[in-house]
Structure 1
């Protein structure tokens, strides 16, 4: 923790500001930390933010989080159907994009649109592989949203960052090495610090930190989640008919971790993409 605090202080001194948690989220986490939460009280806290409430209802109506298709017209029903911990993760994910000030609307919209698509793909993959990986869809969705959240932080701090790497295009994937060279910091490390700052579960923060690598086998759930994220990114590339420059190096490890045979990958992609296009997740 001391090392993280020192790193955070160094970022602040360089003018790099991590997005603060919204007041509603802080209040929600404080109440949950007291134990034995009352669903109606939690609903009251969340309802203080109309935009957040609307997005949570939208997520809760998805077949992925509400497979029985129950009608939900009250916030306490959402909490009961999805579960309190799962709702907290969805609130964290939904709140992130609103917490980062926009410095370039077009690039921000493109970035968050891509992040939401990767998060949905990750959630669908986790849902299918849950018995293998023990990673739940809401956890994978949260990780997908936070996966590259260091990018908009750098966009805010360095005006030339957005232009230099063409963030407004769907095929733009910032290079960690290039960022280190140009700005002496990379979005993967910042994303990890944001995840820690927002009190995400340790294994989610760790999976974000590894970024385009897989952790050692002994890291268990962290490795499984990292594999889910890599496959979600790969499927995003395939859906957009783009080449994935990292997939050749990662494929064997990712598929092995998720227990997917190489010969079955195309069928699995068809299955996930069909659910994705139908609006699930």
Structure 2
């Protein structure tokens, strides 16, 4: 299915308001990134009944940049029991084929965009996303067993959760300046974004995630991570969204900058992850210590 046909099909699953926004953005020239060739080859191999680890590793190794970043990601303390890794084959065996594929999907998105403009902000955006993805992995390692969320899934959400932002940067020349993206800790306010651009980066991110065929609960976590109490979202999506929001808060704490959204969502996050207010500071310190050890 072509990108245009895929995106059109996905818009049919959106509500009327969201579908209207997406239609206007597409007509205005926003470009949904296509999957890189390596990922397309891997996705075909993943459909086979019998998976050949050597063939999967060979395909991944075709892209040196992707391979290098994969090694960096699996150096995360969430995979401490398997380290050190000597080859992609070893990563596939130790981490798991499906889990490694999820990590490769996330990594591939980083190199799929257009960075001809606002390069500094664009690179800072992906550095932020990677840090949040790494933190989410650690949270999933500590808390994921209780809600059946795994580190590779958490990393996917960390990378994809705000991927609509660089697409809106490309579409609207003033977006970067008006959303103050060059300021540490500053991030788009959804109400202001909607008022100024009649757009929603969460909806755009959801569109990308669906186009890249991520699992439904991950797509929903991307769509609703600013609205954890939204009626009708699955328990898995809510748990994933809570891990993401905690990762974002810990990221802000690591930079010593305030997170303007935390006071609004922290009660929902603590309830979903079963972390009491008294236990939260210690939990955050544990994640920060583990994060500093693998950064």
TM range (shorter): over 0.9
Q: State the secondary structure of the residue aligned to 1:65.
A: helix
**Residue of structure 1 aligned with 2:145, choices 126, 131, 136:** 131
1:216-236: per-residue Cα shift (whole Å, max 9, x none)? 487211111011011111111
* 1:154 Cα offset (Å): 0.7
Matched, 1:180 2:187: no
Q: How far, CA to CA, are the matches of 1:30 and 1:10 in structure 2?
A: 32
Q: Is 1:79 aligned to residue 79 of structure 2?
A: no
**1:68 Cα deviation (Å)?**
3.4
Of 137-146 and 237-246, deviating more is 237-246
Contact 1:150 1:191 in 2 (8 A): yes
| Aligned match of 1:15 | 29
TM-score by length of 2: 0.89
Give, in angstroms, the shift of residue 35 of structure 1: 2.4
CA RMSD of aligned residues (A): 1.8
CA, structure 1 residues 100+3, in 2 after alignment: closer, same or farther (shift >3 Å)? closer
Instruction: Answer yes or no: is 1:145 the counterpart of 2:152.
Output: no
Partner of 2:104: 91
| CA displacement at 1:185 relative to structure 2 | 1.2
DSSP-derived class of the 1:67 partner: helix
Aligned to 1:219: 234
- When normalised by structure 1's length, the TM-score is 0.93
Deviations 1:38-80 (A, max 9, x none): 11111111111111111112223333224232x4332211211
- For 1:78-115, what per-residue CA distance to the aligned partner results, in whole angstroms no more than 9, with x for missing partners? 21111111111110111111101112111011111111
Give yes or no for the alignment of 1:248 onto 2:255. Answer: no
Where 1:26 maps in the other structure, the secondary structure is helix
- Please give the per-residue CA displacement for 1:122-166, whole angstroms capped at 9, x wherever unaligned: 111111002222100110011011110100011111111112222
User: C-alpha offsets along residues 169-209 of structure 1, whole Å, 9 cap, x if unaligned?
Assistant: 22111012222222221111101101101111110000010
Q: What is the correspondence of 1:204-215 to structure 2 with a 5 Å cutoff?
A: 204-214=218-228, 215=230
Aligned to 1:4: 11
Aligned residues: 279
Match status 1:53 vs 2:97: no
Q: State the 1:210 CA deviation.
A: 0.3
Question: Matched residues in 1 for 2:254 and 2:219: separation?
Answer: 27
For 2:254 and 2:239, the matched residues in 1 are separated by 22
Alignment partner for residue 259 of structure 1, among 274, 278, 282? 274
Find 1:170's aligned residue among 138, 159, 184: 184
Instruction: State the distance in 2 between where 1:122 and 1:61 align.
Output: 14
Q: Establish whether residue 120 from structure 1 lines up as the match of residue 134 from structure 2.
A: yes
Which residue of 2 is the match for residue 62 of structure 1?
A: 76
Runs of 4+ aligned residues of structure 1 deviating over 6 Å after TM superposition are none
**Structure 2: gaps of 5 or more residues:** 1-7
CA shift at 1:262, angstroms? 0.7
- Structure 2 match to 1:269: 284
Tell me what 2:113 maps to: 100
Structure 1: give runs of 5+ residues left out of the alignment.
none
